[in-house]
Amino acid sequence: MNIRFHPFKKNRKEHEGLSRRMFLMTTTMAGVTTSAMLGGASIASAASINEAQGTMLLRMVQDIYPHPGLLELSHYEAIVATIGKNADENPESADDLKAGLAKIDEQSQALYGKPYAELEDADAREGVLRHFQHEGFFQGVRWTAYFGIYDNKDIWPLFGYQGSSVEHGGYIDRGFSDITFVPEGPTLEERMAEVQG
């Protein structure tokens, strides 16, 4: 008897997700520390990628993690600068990155007759990127951007995240009742008067 608990889950052969090896490779390739993100290096300072590739990477990072009105362009530029720095330090990953960007542009040209960075429709750009989402170069960019945004203490306040509360007594004493979107309820005296009345 064969019981499947997840009828909608793809079987192992059909699954296109990251293997453990690919995950380790891409996160290592990302090689991101928050301090590297704060260096403020310019996109053009990377020797491995040219200006057009830097522009394309900038658009790609914005499309993977869109936070319009929340993150500044400089946040995304710092991520692209880190990707360029990582490519400078690892020629093999630089070659993979350049080949991957060329494939994205090729796909965009085939579908829309324009380079990827010139596509104005965000859904069209997302569609192009989805063709490559399981490839190593894409995962390297994705993980670099992930850590560059969500592991960056300078960006946390923009999301309303205060950081760890363990060293401040935990969330009961810091942050537990900080929400402002729920209207304030009746006071204890008002509730007691209602029950007794």
User: Mean pLDDT for each consecutive 10-residue tract of the chain (197 residues)?
Assistant: 45 48 45 39 66 94 94 95 92 93 96 94 95 94 95 91 82 71 84 87
What per-residue confidence (pLDDT) applies to 72? 93
Q: Within a domain: residue 3?
A: no
Q: Within a domain: residue 122?
A: yes
What per-residue confidence (pLDDT) applies to 183? 80
pTM higher than 0.85, yes or no? no
What per-residue confidence (pLDDT) applies to 175? 67
Handedness of CA 50, 55, 61, 67 (dihedral sign): positive
What per-residue confidence (pLDDT) applies to 35? 35
What per-residue confidence (pLDDT) applies to 167? 84
Q: Within a domain: residue 80?
A: yes
Q: Within a domain: residue 11?
A: no
Q: Within a domain: residue 116?
A: yes
How many Å apart are CA 172 and CA 13, to the nearest integer? 46
Tally of structural domains, the chain: 1
What per-residue confidence (pLDDT) applies to 44? 52
Q: Within a domain: residue 15?
A: no
- Domain with 56, as residue range(s), is 20-160
Q: Within a domain: residue 175?
A: no
- If one counts every other C-beta atom within 10 angstroms of the C-beta of residue 85, the result is 20
Q: Within a domain: residue 77?
A: yes
